[in-house]
Amino acid sequence: MNSRCGTLRKNSSGRVVEVIGKVKLGDMVTWQGRTDGFCSDEDSFEIGQIYPVVFIHPSNADVELGAEVEGERVTIRARDTEYSLFDNTVEAIE
């Protein structure tokens, strides 16, 4: 399936699991900060911190990043300009 932001791959139940060549469910990404708008849980996400991709929106390939705050799971929707893939090879070298 093609969206305006890339080709989406779905699993057998129809859930988007990857924007091919960009990001997939479970990838760890670095939150770059909001570029437009506001989210009620935004204060739970720190710029420069690493979060997992927990959902990919089929309409436009935005992703939901997940975090746990005081035992509660929260998410934040992010455009492709608001996160970058985390490169764990740098962590392994350090």
Is the pLDDT reported for residue 37 higher than 90? Answer: no
User: Of residues 51 and 41, which shows the higher confidence score?
Assistant: 51
pLDDT band at 6 (very low <50, low <70, confident <90, very high): confident
| Greatest extent of the chain over all pairs of C-alpha atoms, in Å | 40
Residue percentage of the chain with pLDDT more than 90: 67
User: In angstroms, how far is CA 47 from the centroid of its own chain?
Assistant: 13
Separation of alpha carbons 72 and 44, rounded Å = 11
54 Cα distance to chain centroid: 7
The domains found in the chain, sorted by start residue, are 2-88 (2.30.30)
Cα gap 14→34, rounded to integer Å: 29
